[in-house]
Structure formats: C-alpha cells, structure tokens
Amino acid sequence: MPIILNHVNHIYSAGTSYEVKALDDVSLTIDDHEFVGIIGHTGSGKSTLIQHMNGLLKPTSGEILYNGQNIHDKDYDRNSLRAKVGLVFQYPEYQLFESDVFTDVCFGPKNLKLSKVEVEARAYDALNLMGLPKEKWYSSPFELSGGQMRRAAIAGVLAMKPQVLVLDEPTAGLDPKGRDELLDVLSRMRTDEGMTVVLVSHSMEDMSKYADRVVVMNKGKLVMNGTPGQIFSRYKELEQIHLSAPAVTYIMEELRRAGLSVPIDVRDVDEAAEAIKKIIL
C-alpha cells in the first residue's frame, strides 16, 4: 500500500516573523516493500516530511494518500493509519515510561483495543524481532544499556504491526556495534516481514549499504531522488548542500586523480576492492 505525497507544503508559524517553510512542494511516492533512505542537512525538512507520512502533521497545502485515500479526509480514520505507518522518532528511548520493558511494548497494541492475548503476543514477537535478550524483558527500561533501550523503544512501535516503518535517525548516538546490529534488524524487517522501511540517516555508508532508493532534501525541497549509485555520483552537488558522498567515493576520486581509471559509483569497500583488482591484477 503505497504512500503518495502530492505537492505537499508545510509552513511553521505562518504569518509571524518566525515563519519557516519547512516543506516546499514535495511530491514523493513510497512503494510497497521498498527501503527508502532520506538524507539532508539538519533543518532540511526531513523530520517534518516523515511526520506527514502518518498524519501527525497536516500539510499547509497538498495531499497525502495512503492506499489511494486522502488521509486528511473528514471521515478518514487516522488512528488506524498510525498503526499501519509506524513512526520511530529520534532518540526513541526517551519515550519509554512503563515500569518494565514488556508492559511498555504493550502500550501501542493496547491502544489499538486488541484483546489481551493478542497484545501480549505482539509484544512478544516485537521484542523477539528486535533481538532484545529475554532476561531484560521484565526489568525497568532505565536499567538497559543505550542500545538495548533503543531496541525496546523500536519494538514498541513494531508491536503495532505496521506495514510501513519510518525511522528518524535510529542509529544516532549508538556505537558502531549497536549501529550495525540495529540496521541488520531493520533490513530483515523488510526481507523477512515484508515491511516497507523509510530511513532518515546522516550516514551515507548506511544509505549505500541498505537503501534501494535515496531521496535528498534541501531547504524543504526534494532535490534528488534515485538509486544510491545515481545519487552519490553527483557528490559535487551533494557537497554544495552540506552533504557528502560515502568515504569510498572520495577514495575512488583520489585514485582517479592519481591516474587509475577506476569507477566512481561503487557502493561500498567490497565493490571498490573488486574494481581496483580488475585494473591492477
């Protein structure tokens, strides 16, 4: 069930001196089972954009369609939309509030007015999916490590069984180990559970490794939309909007400058190594 944004504009504090055009005529389609990455400099409108996807923010003008229906129609059930499009905010561990992890994860499905059995079954599945060690399930969320708290919080959204999972910089502040584990879980959500994943991230390496398609935002406008290869080969433009390509792109550029005819648009270190081997060996 695709999400379609049609010419969406969003203006904060309209009519005051603080007026900010956070989204400027954004049109975007997110198809089923896609892994879409959204990148942009801080303040480029990424967070505003994703808050439109489950109806938390209402566009100043333009429309958002989920499964062909306008989500701001008078009789549209936005509460059920929030179960279908799960939104994980930045530093989601700051929203944990229950006395133990399991009860906290139950909060979402309980709000959907499901039976107790169903609620607990979903919480069980979600915690399993996020790979949180079982001995932590009944301890206070505040006794977990940073990475575990993050996973418990994401499980709280997963327990609502969303079809689309939207995450705002889920790896911010995690160490490399925590980051890799989390991204692997997200990538499995897509392959094993058939979920659509929308990931906002600053890490170009992560985008290149996981995303099918990358959307670039700048000053509220959608400025690029394509495969990671297509986007990162335009790294000169990315730099102008305070972004950069993955480190490996710059390595390849340096090698070309030194006279090696290697391609620029490699996805990761493995592809780079293959390309260099082809030329040298």
Partner 1 sequence: MFTDITLGQYYQTKSVLHDLDARVKLVGTFLYIITVFVCNSITAFIVAGLFLTFVIAISHVPASFMFKGLKGIAMLIIFTVAFNLFLTPGTVIWQYGVFHITKEGIRIAILMLLRLTLLISGTSILTLTTTPSNLTDGLESILGPFQKVGVPVHEVAMMMSIALRFIPILMEETDKIIKAQTARGADFETGNLFTRAKNMIPILVPLFVSAFRRASDLALAMEARCYQGGAGRTKMKPLHYEKRDGAAYVILVVYTTVICVITW
Partner 2 sequence: MCPRFYNMNFIETEKVIFEYIERDEEGNPVKVKRALDDVSISVKKGQFIAILGHNGSGKSTLAKHLNALLYPTEGKVLIDGMDTLEDPNTMKVRRRVGMVFQNPDNQIIGSVVEEDVGFGPENLGIPTNEIRERVDESLKILDMYAYRLHSPNRLSGGQKQRVAIAGVIAMHPQCIVLDEATAMLDPEGRKEVIRAARALNDVEGMTIILITHYMDEVIYADNVFVMSEGRVVMQGTPREIFSQEESLNALRLELPAVTKLAAKLKRAGIPVHDGILTAKELADALVL
Q: Which residues bind partner 1 (CB under 8 A)?
A: 13, 16-17, 51, 54, 56, 79, 82-83, 86-87, 89, 92, 94-97, 107-108, 111-112, 142, 156-157, 160
Q: What angle do CA 95, 100, 105 make, to 5 degrees?
A: 55
- The CA distance from 179 to 79, in Å, is 31
Which of 80, 261 has the CB closer to partner 2?
261
How buried is 200 (Cβ within 10 angstroms: 0-12 exposed, 13-18 middle, 19+ buried)?
buried
Which of 58, 278 has the CB closer to partner 2?
278
Binding mask 190-209 for partner 2 (x = CB under 8 A): ------------xx-x----
Which amino acid belongs to residue 130? M
Which of 130, 266 has the CB closer to partner 1?
130
237 near partner 2, judged by CB under 8 A: no
Tokens 């990475």 -> residue: 147
Tokens 């892994």 -> residue: 35
Binding partner of residue 228 among partner 2, partner 1, none, CB cut-off 5 to 8 Å per kind? none
> Shortest approach of partner 1 to residue 120 CB, angstroms?
16
**φ and ψ at residue 104, rounded to 5 degrees:** -65, -45
DSSP string, 200-228: E-S-HHHHHHH-SEEEEEETTEEEEEE-H
Which amino acid belongs to residue 64? I
Residues near partner 2 (CB under 8 A) are 41-43, 140, 145-147, 172-178, 180, 202-203, 205, 242, 244, 246-248, 250-251, 253-255, 257-260, 269-270, 272-273, 276-277, 280-281
